[in-house]
Amino acid sequence: MSSTSKGAFELSAKRRALLEALLSEEGIKTPRAERIPRREGGGPAPLSFAQRRLWFFDQFEPGNPAYNLVSTVSLRGKLDAVALERAFSEVTRRHEALRTTFDFRDGEPVQLVAPPQPLHSNVVDITHLPEAGRDGRVRSLIHEQTQASFDLKRGPLLRITLVRLSEEEHVLLLAMHHIVSDAWSMGVLVGEVVALYEAYVSGREAALPALPIQYADFAAWQRKWLQGEVLEGQFAYWRRQLGGSLPILELPADRARPALQTYNGASISFPLSPALSQSLKALCKAEGVTLFMTLLAAFKVLLCHYTGQEDVIVGSPIANRHRQELEGLIGFFVNTLAMRTDLSGNPTFKELLGRVRETALGAYANQDLPFEYLVEQLQPDRNLSHSPLVQVVFVLQNTPERKAELPGLSLTPLKYGVETAKFDLTLYFEELGSELQGTFEYNTDLFDEDTINRMAGHLRTLLEGVVADPSERISELPLLTEGERRRLLLDWNDTRADYPQGFCAHHLFEAQVERTPDALAVAFEDERLSYRELNARANKLAHYLRSLGVGSNDAVGVLMERSSEMIVGLLGALKAGAACLPLDPSYPDERLAFMLRDAGGPVVLSQRRLAANLSETGARVVCLDTDWAEIARRGDENPRTSVTPENWVYVIYTSGSTGQPKGVCMPHRALVNLVQWHLATPARSARTRRWEAT
């Protein structure tokens, strides 16, 4: 099946036996019921609990493709198209779900079953396209089927498209609405079509076993059975598990969450090495747990690290076909189990595994209670920006897809990237040979591909840490990949570089004046200053300040609005040998007075309109706008001072939010080093900046 058809994990006979043994070991009893009977009459049938949710969703957002299931199969060899259509027609005759539509009658939604009719596929011939362009056309057709809406009232809810690439190469596209199907059903559909096709091309009638019931029988039975003691018993368990304040899993996203939940999605896959995969299975055997439990526990540790939350709910779909008469049906049976785990107290991974084991076994024993009923009864705080109760899902698929062989024809499932995502994030794992492969399906309106790739790397590193030492506390389990550790510990700390050792900050400016005297240095509103003009003005101011007694280790206050005058003031103070003391015009007069008094600033450079703020400070105020005529009489040559790189270049004060503000002094040496680093370091990519931000 394609990745878009992923949903429930299938319980193999071996796995079911293991779970039943674990439940029995814990003394947990699962409800047993009589066989599901056929419903009386052939009229409208009620919807199952799961169907009602999707029906209401479709009423709220008609035609939304979020619940389209698309499966893609490559057919190589001599294809008998007539036998294929005949096989599909027989499957739709056998399974009423494929002939079902939905209506609203007497205040309730109902399902209606249409009589059987021959089924015809939509044939798209692309043999005329060059070979290089055929794959693109197939992808385009898959996109169309993924996004094309279904009309639940009119139907049909199964679409078959046969793409002809050459005489002996076809692609079969199957699209169904989730309200009549699930991932298990896709397997049933393909399996029966294969069996029927093989019989028809061999010239014999197929002998598939009769179906004991139909999906509508199950829906009617579910409504009657899930009442009284059965309902109260299972609901009591979930009420205990999900009582109190329900957490919303807030993963750090690349973009703000839209006001309305969106379903645009994509996926990335990542392998676990055979060695890691085998080590995980060995850990499961040693701890008496299933692979599902171990992977879920590790995923919850990852989510805890990402969100900082210790109360974590992860949804997990279950096939919900633990009754024999349901195993061969096509329909929507899958149920979602809300697995809630407390990660508080910084447990070891082994301890957490015990908690997850208990949660999973309890959920399996009470899996009949529909997720939709649970949401309806618990009434969690609803927010249209995310799904209720569960925002993140985990799935383990342990039934491998196999290549099928037919007379003269081979079938191979094709996998293409998903385009929708029902949740913020879904993690799939499946066994492929000797290794496990993970897939993250994510909402593209929240996350970038780079973010999810990084998350996959963190999960793999975490799993390696788990098998290396499962007794490690979860806060100590590693997350960073080798590349990230190297970048953080070595690359970003490798800051050693040669820089001018005997220069001050204003010396660098003077060197630039020598290189490009006529280049533009400052532009403010209508005023333009070249490096030569800016240097000359700053020199005049420096000589003027020296005449006022300003020298090295003095702090010259700069209380000015952004302007070319402010640049002249800063450079002039440095050239005079002083440090700059930035003074924000928005500060209260008391704070300005404190800063000048504490720094010992004898002179403040300002502008006439701001000078009144300094009346209580006692400092000598030089207004560059009104005092410039006097300043301009000074020489414009570079002044000589005794300032060294160890002298202060500026003094900046803390906010003082936790007490008295404190002045922090920066020497010329540090600023020169920083400037040289900026000049020598190329601009970082947007991706790198996002990485650092997280």
Query: Which CB contacts under 8 angstroms, 24+ apart, belong to 583-591?
Result: 583/557, 583/558, 583/559, 585/559, 585/560, 585/561, 585/610, 585/613, 589/613, 589/615, 589/616, 591/661
Q: Is 115 left (phi over 0), alpha (psi -120 to 50) or beta?
A: beta
448 has a pLDDT exceeding 70: yes
pLDDT top residue among 377 and 180: 180
CB distance 289 to 357 below 8 Å: yes
Other residues' Cβ atoms within 10 Å of the Cβ of residue 481: 16
The whole-angstrom distance between residue 9's C-alpha and the CA centroid of its chain comes to 22
94-110, pLDDT tens digit by residue? 999 999 999 999 999 99
Distance CA 303, CA 309 (A): 8
Q: Supply angle C-alpha 187, 421, 235, rounded to 5.
A: 75
112 has a pLDDT exceeding 80: yes
**Hey, CA dihedral for 366, 372, 377, 379, is it positive or negative?**
positive
- Mean pLDDT for the stretch of residues 389-394: 95
281-309, pLDDT tens digit by residue? 999 999 999 999 999 999 999 999 999 99
- Mean pLDDT for the stretch of residues 476-496: 85
- Residue from 309, 314, 331 nearest 425 by CA: 314
- Residue from 616, 602, 531, 545 nearest 574 by CA: 545
Q: Which structural domains are found in the chain, ordered by start?
A: 42-225 (3.30.559.10), 261-399+420-493 (3.30.559.30), 515-693 (3.40.50.980)
Tokens of 458: 């963190």
125-173, pLDDT tens digit by residue? 999 999 889 999 999 999 999 999 999 999 999 999 999 999 999 999 9
681 has a pLDDT exceeding 80: no
Please indicate, yes or no, whether the overall pTM of this predicted structure exceeds 0.85.
no
The DSSP output letter for 348 is: B
State in Å, rounded, how far the first CA of the chain is from the last one. 36
CB distance 304 to 474 below 8 Å: yes
pLDDT at 5: 33
